[in-house]
Amino acid sequence: MNLETVLILSGIIFTIGLYGSLTKKNSIVVVMCLELMFNAVAIAVIGFSRFRPPQVLVDSDVLSPLNVLSGHMMAVFVIAIGAAEVALALALIISIYKIKGNIELTGLNNLKN
Amino acid sequence: MSIENIYWLILLIPFIGFLINGILFSIFFKNYSKISGFVTVTSVFISFVLSIFSLINFNDKGVQLLDSFDWLMIGDVGIKTGFLIDPLTSMMLIVVTGVSLMIQIYSIGYMASDKGYSRYFSFMALFTFSMLGLVLSKNLIHLFIFWELVGVSSYLLIGFWFKKNSAVVAAKKAFLMTRVGDFGLMVGILFIFSKGQQYLDIPTLYKGVSSGEFQGSGLLIMCILLFLGAVGKSAQFPLHSWLPDAMEGPTPVSALLHSATMVTAGVFLIGRLFPLFESSSEIMVIIAIIGGFTAVFAATMGVVSDDIKRVLAYSTISQLGYMVLALGSGFYAAAFFHLFTHAWFKALLFLSAGSVSHATGTFNMKFMGGLRKHMPITYVLTLLGALSLIGIFPFSGFWSKDEILGHIYLQNSPISMVLFILASLGVFLTALYMTRVIMLTFHGSYKGGISSENSSNSKSEDNDHPTEPHESPGIMLFPMIILGFLSVVIGFLVNPLIDLGFVSKHAFSHFLEHNLFFDDPKEFHFVFEVAIISTILAILGIVSAILVFKGKLNIKNNFVYKILINKYYFDEFYENLIVKKFFYNKIGSLLSWIDENIVDKSNAKISDFTIYLSKKMSNVQNGHLQSYGFVFFMALTVLMIVFFISNLNTGDSWLDLINKLNSEIY
């Protein structure tokens, strides 16, 4: 287990999320894909924090929580923001469904003309 | 007052007259103010007095070159304004201002009831100004500018009655036909320029010619081009046909156009560039032959024309032919002596024609006749002018024409024999048509003038009872009397055969040759046998014209008459063949094909392509965030791939590459 494997995993998940968010019509799937991208970033951040090279330490004490847990703290933030965003997105999708009767993103071009 | 200022005044005072008439009066008096006539007359009069003063002054000082200031300097290349005052210029100043003055005075009476009175006088002043500028110019570029100004003002004056269709057509014809020649002149000047920009200065050009700078094959082409300008302006064959049509303008305009300004400009140009022409013997032969041919050619058309002004116009072409012939044969002084005398008597003849039409209302000689009793003064004056033109002893035309004939006679070469025969034939024809004019207009019985012309044209019954023709008012007769006096005496007075005491022998000719390019004084001869020959020919012409008039000789309705009355079909040739068939059909259709198929179609193609492209491009901007994101991401990916491939061989690990990318982005 090293940084490369973590980053490859993170890259795969991020790419799947990106692909889904760019190609899918269904807005719930798009929101899910966005979540995938958030989580890929969180994995990458934790990986960086776990396999950090010694020359970029924040504190001189190697086992200081600032050094060990900064990535985890970032990941917790990401998850919290992701949850808030999902709540917001689902509320929007529900109200779009109430107005239009479907949740397809391609139909959302009423302002265009 | 310095001498230089005099020449500035001579030039600019008519221009001020033009501005006053053209701007002030046309705005405040709606083109009609009695004062405008006097403004122009006064301005020309001042110029005339100053010209005489400058002539007197000239004899003390000789040729003067006045450089005033630089004009249009671009680096070292540029044009200097200045005046070249040589005998030719001094003489032309007198002719232009003097004849113009007489004609302006006459115009006050002739144009009195015209609505465009002020406009007329402003154009006349402009015309005089342009011609003065032309003769004063020291630089070929200036000469060309004033040359074109003469063309413009003649266009304005020929088309003065712009509501009359024929006048508009004639003005356009005059403008365009002289333009053919002007183009030649312009290319010729550029040709001279290409030999060195200093040669645009005329005295430097003289020096260049005498030191042999202008030689070789280019010289002939250059001379032909320059001569083409003179051919156009002086209405020589083959560009002659605009001049008879130019009779559509008011009669004083024709008088000015045909005596002192415009047509003499061409002859003046040949005289001005005489050393250049003289250095090529071929061009001199061409000039002489064209001049001699035109002298006869135009005279034959004059014999049959019924319009009094057209006869005079043909006679002008013919007399200009004499001048060109003389120049081409190398007789500089004789040519300008003829120009000098011709200006006075031709102006007189035109003014007489105007006076006749003032009385009868028409120019058609078929409806005149018998005016001798009604207008005795005009009759006598016309007779004086005509005798002078025919060249009867001792009128002025006799001296100048015989000087040309005598010199050709003495030249004694095969070509000069042909030219002499042509010139003598011209004398006979001149006598013929001028006598015909006199007989038709003043003898016989009166045929009713304008009213009978109208009724013969429309065949209508409402025949106005023909009014009796009457003598013209004094303001018109006064300048005619002065001109008549000059026509009689001036030829002998300025260039006498013998020493008169106050005028020395051949004073005028010696004076003219006293310029920048003639070194050795020439001998001037009066050839007695030539004088007798020409007088006999003239009398022969007069007698045959009288015989025709009395009905003893029938010339009408044969083949020659038909060709002559149709002006050798030159108008048809130019208008049908060249203009319609060649220009309209061939060149015009070619141009319209190019316009439709190349210009228009390429335009349409370009706009179609732009519309097509913009439709395709607008598909990209569809408003879908997803597709924008897709493009954005794909572009990023491609850039990254390119970056990594380009750094593949540097041996860096991928982490180094990312660091490198970071440092390049920031």
* pLDDT range class, residue B90, cuts 50, 70, 90: confident
Contact B624/A109, CB-based, under 8 Å? yes
Report yes or no for ipTM above 0.90: no
CB atoms near residue A9 (< 10 Å): 14
Residue of B nearest to A15 (CA): B633
User: Which residue, chain included where needed, has tokens 């005149």?
Assistant: B368
Kindly report the length of chain A.
113
CATH code reported for the domain at A3-107: 1.10.287.3510
Residue B642 has pLDDT above 90, yes or no: no
- Mean pLDDT (chain B) is 80
Residue B316 has pLDDT above 50, yes or no: yes
Q: Which residue has the higher pLDDT, B480 or B466?
A: B480
pLDDT of residue B459: 46
In which region does residue B483 sit, left (phi positive, over 0), alpha (psi from -120 to 50) or beta (all else)? alpha
Residue of B nearest to A20 (CA): B626
- Per-residue pLDDT 10s for chain A (113 aa) are 788 899 899 999 999 999 898 888 888 999 999 999 999 999 998 888 877 766 666 666 666 666 667 788 888 999 999 999 999 999 999 998 998 888 888 777 776 65
* pLDDT range class, residue B464, cuts 50, 70, 90: very low
Question: Mutating which of B624, B636, B653 best tests the A interface, going by the most A Cβ atoms within 10 A?
Answer: B624
Q: Going by C-beta distance under 8 Å and a sequence separation of 6 or more, which residues neighbour residue A48?
A: A3, A71
Q: Which residue has the higher pLDDT, B336 or B57?
A: B336
3-state class (DSSP) for residue B448:
coil
Q: Which amino acid is at B7?
A: Y
Question: Mutating which of B627, B630, B634 best tests the A interface, going by the most A Cβ atoms within 10 A?
Answer: B630
Q: Which residue has the higher pLDDT, B571 or B598?
A: B598
pLDDT of residue A92: 92
CB B21 within 8 A of CB B37: no
Q: How far apart are the CA of A72 and the nearest CA of chain B, in angstroms? A: 23
A36-45, B186-195, B350-359, B644-653, range with greatest mean pLDDT: A36-45
Residue of B nearest to A21 (CA): B626
* pLDDT range class, residue B518, cuts 50, 70, 90: low
Contact B623/A109, CB-based, under 8 Å? yes
Q: Distances in Å between the alpha carbon of A1 and those of A5, A13, A46, A69? A: 7, 18, 13, 19
Among residues B391, B412, B220, B229, the alpha carbon closest in space to that of B322 is found at B391
Contact A22/B623, CB-based, under 8 Å? no
- Residue B569, CB-side half-sphere exposure with 13 Å CA sphere: 7
Structure tokens at B232: 């156009």
Q: How far apart are the CA of B593 and the nearest CA of chain A, in angstroms? A: 45
Mean pLDDT of B395-421: 81
Residues of chain B neighbouring A52 (CB-CB closer than 8 A): none
Structure tokens at B59: 């004899």
Spatial separation of the C-alpha atoms in residues B34 and B27, rounded to whole Å: 14
Structure tokens at A1: 């287990």
CB B77 within 8 A of CB B253: no
Q: How far apart are the CA of B620 and the nearest CA of chain A, in angstroms? A: 14
3-state class (DSSP) for residue B14:
helix
Q: How far apart are the CA of A69 and the nearest CA of chain B, in angstroms? A: 23
Contact B626/A112, CB-based, under 8 Å? no
Among residues B244, B326, B257, B341, the alpha carbon closest in space to that of B291 is found at B326
Question: Mutating which of A4, A8, A21, A22 best tests the B interface, going by the most B Cβ atoms within 10 A?
Answer: A22
pLDDT of residue B393: 75
Q: Which residue has the higher pLDDT, B133 or B212?
A: B133
Among residues B362, B390, B377, B383, the alpha carbon closest in space to that of B302 is found at B390
Residues of chain A neighbouring B633 (CB-CB closer than 8 A): 18, 22
Residues of chain A neighbouring B626 (CB-CB closer than 8 A): 21-23, 105
3-state class (DSSP) for residue B301:
helix
CB B295 within 8 A of CB B389: no
Question: What percent of chain B has a predicted confidence (pLDDT) above 70?
Answer: 85
Tell me which residues of chain B have a C-beta less than 8 Å from any C-beta of chain A.
623-624, 626, 629-630, 633
User: Which residue, chain included where needed, has tokens 């005509």?
Assistant: B386
Q: How far apart are the CA of A108 and the nearest CA of chain B, in angstroms? A: 9
Contact A22/B624, CB-based, under 8 Å? no
Domain boundaries, chain A: 3-107
Q: How far apart are the CA of B636 and the nearest CA of chain A, in angstroms? A: 13
* pLDDT range class, residue B460, cuts 50, 70, 90: very low
pLDDT of residue A84: 93
